[in-house]
Chain A
Amino acid sequence: ILNVEQSPQSLHVQEGDSTNFTCSFPSSNFYALHWYRWETAKSPEALFVMTLNGDEKKKGRISATLNTKEGYSYLYIKGSQPEDSATYLCAFIAGTYKYIFGTGTRLKVLA
Chain B
Amino acid sequence: EPEVTQTPSHQVTQMGQEVILRCVPISNHLYFYWYRQILGQKVEFLVSFYNNEISEKSEIFDDQFSVERPDGSNFTLKIRSTKLEDSAMYFCASSGDMGTEAFFGQGTRLTVV
Task: Let me know if A59 is at the binding interface, CB within 8 A.
Answer: no
Whether B106 contacts A51 by the Cβ 8 Å rule is: no
What's the nearest-Cβ distance from chain A to residue B105, in Å? 6
When chains A and B are docked, how far (Å) is the Cα of A34 from the Cα of B35?
16
Option from B33, B42, B107 in Cβ contact (under 8 Å) with A43: B107
Name the residue in A31, A98, A99, A103 with the highest tally of chain B Cβ atoms < 10 Å from its Cβ. A99
What's the nearest-Cβ distance from chain A to residue B94, in Å? 12
* Residue count of chain A within 8 Å CB distance of chain B: 22
Whether A98 contacts B56 by the Cβ 8 Å rule is: yes
Which chain B residues in 30-63 approach chain A with CB under 8 Å? 31, 33, 35, 42-45, 48, 50, 55-56, 58
Task: Let me know if B75 is at the binding interface, CB within 8 A.
Answer: no
Whether A89 contacts B43 by the Cβ 8 Å rule is: yes
Whether A101 contacts B45 by the Cβ 8 Å rule is: yes
Task: Let me know if B28 is at the binding interface, CB within 8 A.
Answer: no
What's the nearest-Cβ distance from chain B to residue A9, in Å? 10
Known A43-B104, A96-B56, A97-B55; contact A32-B42, beta-carbon cutoff 8 A: no
What's the nearest-Cβ distance from chain B to residue A49, in Å? 5
Task: Let me know if B113 is at the binding interface, CB within 8 A.
Answer: no
Chain A residue contacts of B50, Cβ below 8 A: 97
Whether B48 contacts A97 by the Cβ 8 Å rule is: yes
Whether B99 contacts A31 by the Cβ 8 Å rule is: yes
Task: Let me know if A93 is at the binding interface, CB within 8 A.
Answer: yes
B residues in contact (CB < 8 Å) with A: 4, 31, 33, 35, 42-45, 48, 50, 55-56, 58, 91, 98-107
